[in-house]
């Protein structure tokens, strides 16, 4: 169901079938929301839990539609589309520069993993467990998931693991790591994005060149020429000895509040016409929803989009400019038999 303040008014003011649990929905999103509006007071809204809980049920629904599994980016994009999240809300970021909406969806997945609805895959694929495949999640059950996971977190001390459960105050719907105020652990992603955004334009192009080489591209050249339709370089991606693609790329060193627009994607595609098989835009910012649609529009050459979060993930996979640190997570299930 969609929830909003008691004094707000929707486009039709009618309550229909529940769609998703949403807290503090912006008016721009509410105007385009599915026809299901439930009005909650501030007290009721606080009782509903942290804001990221609005994405829990839609994440499970989207995974079912995808055949019970999906890549994180694919699931995230479909959840955003399903809830009709506005471009303005998608452009909002946390203090570490991550997309707030995408960060909240990741936290929804985290709680679903802890509650046994999604398998904890080590291969970067979100997969529903048998429990998740048959679950019917409403607002009460989503709230119960949150309370149960939080309750287990209080049985032992917190670890420094990135998977440690963030203990959330019941009084205020804010989750550590999801909202800005409390981010106690060192976040290498924010630090890396800050460094990349602070590089000179030529330095950012060269580090992208190095990253593409580490990611399997060959003959990567940075042209650095102005007036070339925004093309910053080119390279060759060899899929196998018989299949190769010539790729043109563009590097956009944007701040956390800046997004690549559909017109910029179209301009880049126009510049690459007849010169390459694929295009690639790398940015330390984000892409608007319309820009993502433009990149995959039928009948035109496809353009791959790499936003700040995906850029960081590429650095992590290549271990480029990063040193891996080993850590541990407490396996609560192991201790269950000793609590009896």
The tens digit of pLDDT for each residue in 244-277 reads 889 999 999 998 778 899 999 999 999 988 888 8
Long-range CB contact pairs, 7-13, < 8 A, 24+: 8/39, 10/37, 12/37, 13/37
Domains observed in the chain: 2-153 (no CATH), 194-318 (3.40.1350.10)
Q: Which residues pair with 287 in a beta bridge?
A: 260
Q: Which residues pair with 251 in a beta bridge?
A: 282
Mean pLDDT of the chain: 76
The tens digit of pLDDT for each residue in 162-208 reads 344 443 333 233 333 333 333 334 578 888 999 999 999 999 999 99
Q: Which residues pair with 233 in a beta bridge?
A: 222, 249
Between CA 61 and CA 45 the distance in angstroms is 23
Q: Which residues pair with 70 in a beta bridge?
A: 126
pTM equals 0.58
The tens digit of pLDDT for each residue in 144-167 reads 999 888 877 655 444 434 344 443
């Amino acid at each position: 169901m969609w929830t909003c303040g008691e004094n707000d008014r929707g486009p039709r003011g009618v309550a229909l079938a529940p769609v998703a649990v949403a807290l503090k929905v912006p008016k721009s999103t509410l105007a385009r929301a599915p026809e299901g509006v439930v009005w909650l007071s501030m007290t009721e809204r606080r009782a509903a839990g942290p804001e990221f809980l609005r994405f829990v049920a839609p994440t499970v629904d989207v995974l079912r539609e995808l055949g019970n599994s999906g890549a994180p980016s694919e699931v995230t994009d479909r959840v955003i589309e399903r809830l009709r999240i506005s471009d303005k809300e998608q452009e909002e970021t946390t203090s570490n520069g991550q997309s707030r909406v995408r960060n909240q969806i990741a936290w929804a997945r985290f709680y679903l993993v802890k509650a046994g609805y999604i398998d904890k895959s080590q291969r970067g694929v979100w997969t529903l467990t048998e429990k998740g495949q048959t679950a019917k999640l409403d607002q009460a059950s989503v709230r119960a998931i949150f309370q149960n996971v939080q309750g287990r977190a209080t049985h032992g001390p917190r670890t420094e693991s990135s998977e440690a459960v963030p203990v959330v105050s019941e009084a205020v719907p804010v989750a550590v790591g999801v909202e800005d105020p409390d981010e106690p652990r060192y976040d290498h992603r924010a630090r890396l994005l800050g460094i990349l955004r602070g590089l000179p334009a030529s330095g950012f192009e060269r580090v992208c060149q190095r990253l593409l080489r580490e990611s399997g591209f060959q003959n990567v050249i940075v042209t650095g020429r102005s007036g070339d339709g925004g093309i910053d370089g080119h390279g060759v991606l060899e899929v196998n000895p018989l299949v190769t693609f010539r790729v043109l790329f563009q590097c956009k060193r944007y701040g956390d509040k800046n997004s690549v627009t559909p017109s910029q994607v179209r301009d880049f595609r126009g510049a690459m016409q007849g010169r390459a098989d694929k295009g690639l835009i790398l940015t330390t910012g984000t892409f608007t929803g319309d820009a993502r649609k433009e990149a995959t529009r039928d009948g035109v050459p496809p353009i791959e989009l790499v936003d700040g979060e995906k850029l960081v993930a590429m650095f992590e996979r290549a271990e480029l400019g990063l040193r891996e640190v080993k850590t541990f997570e407490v396996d609560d299930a192991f201790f269950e038999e000793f609590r009896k």
